[in-house]
Amino acid sequence: MSIQRPESEAKIAAMFDRVAPRYDLLNRLLSARQDQRWRRQLTAMVPYRPGGRYLDVATGTGDVLLSVARAHTEYQEHLGVDISGEMLAEAQKKATASGLAPVPQLRQMSAERLVLADGAFDCLSISFGLRNVVRRDQALREFYRVLGPGGVLLILEFFLPRKGLLAWFFQLYFHRILPFIGGLLSDREAYRYLPESVGSFYTPEAMREALYQQGFTVATTQSYLFGACRLIQAVKGCN
């Protein structure tokens, strides 16, 4: 098995531009709609901050952004950023049709270079996007910078499961079945890269250490699919 790392932001952006039109359909199909349940769990972990500001990085088609905007109307701002213009175009359609007022804002931006003020946000989330970032430690530094003291970081991501039957099934599904279905309905190369990118991502232990090195404290972790998917809540220190 080849282990792929994201080569450049330009290539990642181009790949997501290609898959944008059918991205939501394939997410629902390939996860048996479990992705929606996991995103609801993330929304429930967003802290209650009246007048606060919320940022969703690698927002994609805006599922998490819109879910949080509906559930947390006490926030004064909901902003989603992504490097893919086509994904943002899909998100804009959904935001415009959502009936939310004010409509969540969308901006094209890199996770590694957030053109946002220091300490501006109370909560930041990234769902199934961190493993597609080229310089992940740089992105974590940016997350820390734009969060205010006590700000909450929520990371929803896939991790390689431990050895055993589940690990075998995970590899079979992700490296055989998912690319086949993705290739039929969308872009074969993209759906070959996406599962293989999990192999070059942090282990759960390395993820915790990377967060600690940037100044975060991991508060809670929820595990799905026997550890193949995890929702991590980390808090920025107040010092």
Cis peptide before 102 (omega within 30 of 0): yes
pLDDT at residue 19 in the model: 82
Confirm if 233 and 45 have CB atoms less than 8 A apart: yes
Cα–Cα distance list, 85 to 22, 116, 193 (Å): 15, 19, 20
Per-residue confidence of the chain (239 residues) as pLDDT tens digits?
344 556 688 888 988 888 887 777 656 554 555 677 888 999 999 999 999 999 999 999 999 999 999 999 999 999 999 999 999 999 999 999 999 999 999 999 999 999 999 999 999 999 989 988 999 999 999 999 999 999 999 999 988 776 656 666 666 666 666 665 555 545 556 556 666 667 778 999 999 999 999 999 999 999 887 777 899 999 998 65
pLDDT at residue 38 in the model: 87
Strand-pair category, 229-236 with 147-158: antiparallel
Number of H helices, E strands in the chain: 10, 7
Cα–Cα distance list, 137 to 19, 156, 213 (Å): 26, 16, 9
pTM for the full predicted model:
0.87
pLDDT at residue 3 in the model: 42
- C-alpha–C-alpha distance, residues 101 and 108, integer Å: 21
Q: What is the CATH number of domain 33-160+203-236?
A: 3.40.50.150
Q: Where are the domains of the chain?
A: 33-160+203-236
Residue whose tokens read 């820390």 = 144
pLDDT at residue 104 in the model: 97
